[in-house]
Structure 1
Amino acid sequence: MTDHSEAFVAFDTSKLRNSVRIAQGGRNGEVRFFGDIENTEAATRKLVKKLAAQHRQLTFCYEAGPTGYGLYRLIRSLGHDCVVVAPSLIPKKPGDRVKTNRRDALNLAKLLRAGELTAVWVPDERHEAMRDLVRGREAAVDDLKSKRQQVLSLLLRIGRHYPGKRTWTRAHMNWLVSQKLAHREQRIVFEEMLLAVRQIRAAIRQISCNGGGEATAGEFPITPCSRSVDRRARVDDGQPRTKSRNCESEPAHQSLITDVFRLRLHPCTIITPITPAEIAWSRVRMQNTLDEGHQSVFRLIDCFCASA
């Protein structure tokens, strides 16, 4: 029997199975538990086809989470509306602390029917791939910081102090390689630590040059106001000075680099235009202070300027 009405379907997603609740249209519409289905494309298609034969209009929703946006894209490809809900903006009762899959799906279905849910922006597959690239690079940068700290902690324990002012420059790396440790066990650990640092730095260079260099200006959306690098500020301490700027009043190129000296990647940040003469001047001024990982940013800027 076909029911020409509107229905609101809520998923509580997980790795293997999804709990499904259906709320009938109207203030007093029934809210029933449909069941648990496998988290596969075939099972979702079967569910949507079955519900489409019973209802005139279907609206789906689920919370944004680790399962990604595959369910959203599948439902949209089948011709139905789908909402990815912001979990932090879901209305909750003060004393409601019991959390199960069925209860979560029931709450989502009721709130979807009432129009009380806030949707998040869903990126396309290309934008999502760039997000993964940025996250992977940030994880590598954090790992590099950890490995460097392990090297410095080992040297501190055995009483080896670098006489220079700044660490992890080319001179510091040469000093590290020249260190001769008395015990074989310490030499093994020290060499493995240095090898890990080199490998992570190589991975960061690979991601920066081959990944970020392909991004073109205007390909990814940016926020109206963002963080930019002030090229006119002094950089004697190796840290850039930042300033806020209204993007609508001042033209700028978009880039995946927000901090030229730390190589911090953020897809929603812009950099003021850099001319080839300024790049050459920066190379001459800092060629003795930047390590190999930081020097790769100039190659990335060259690629960006050439494609802009």
Structure 2
Amino acid sequence: MAQCSFLPNLFCNFPAFDENLMREFKKSVDLSFKAFVRSYGDVLTTIMQPLQWFLNWLQDFFVNTPWIIILIGMTAIVYLASRNMKIVIGTVLSMLLIGLVGLWNDTMITLAMVTVCTLISIVIGIPIGILMARSDRIQSIVNPILDVMQTMPSFVYLIPVVMIFGIGKVPGLIAVVIYAVPPMIRLTNLGIRLVDKEVLEAADAFGSSNRQKLKNVQIPLALPTIMAGINQTIMMSLAMVVVASMIGVGGLGKNVLQGITNQFFTVGFLNGFALVAIAIIFDRASQAYGRRLQKHSEVIHG
């Protein structure tokens, strides 16, 4: 206060709204949201029920299928995506090590969650990205929303979804998707906007409709950038899994949270290693696939 003694009080203390006014405003907003939850919570839960069933089915499939079949299938997918034996060998060794330290089932649970979140993000993100690429007005509306979604602390997402859906997998799924979908939208929009205008003019010259241009020209040429968006979505889903474990999502995130709570360094390190291993596998495979798509596109249109 001594430093402000020579200044008017207005410049010493930042003017703020009246405390009683702010208290009433916060109270009215909270009560309105609680009333919304009471009125529509059951409806929203019913709407989200198919996601719960699909996630439970996929989780049971991954956990109950013999590990050797899952490993063979995962190795085949990685090879088809990357065509790189180093990545394939790294995948096999990483998954075997995860199994040897007793984290196979937890890894499968996490894998199911990330798979569902990625699929939902793709289904939501690509159409919105296409709309943004076609309209500057839609882009100007959606971009600030994406900025908020990416910069808002991830813990904040948990508050409304828990109030609506309670503790469980579905609120965790929704929180992860909110956190992970922005890169999918942004990079789809970017990829389509970066398509060479001369190629589009050639398509127009052949009488292609907007739908035909999108299907046969824009999306194929934008695929490398879209794959980068899928890559980032997977990475952000894995990062959010630990936070989502606070509201009932099992798997590796739950173990990391228990390690933090009980100060078990080994538990946290091993589960963190498993998350890192999965992230590296997905990252290397999707990047290699994106590079292959890029080369293919350059050969065809170069």
TM-score, normalising length: structure 1? 0.22
Tell me the TM-score normalized by structure 2: 0.22
Larger fraction in helix: 2
Higher relative contact order (CA 8 A, sep 6+): 2
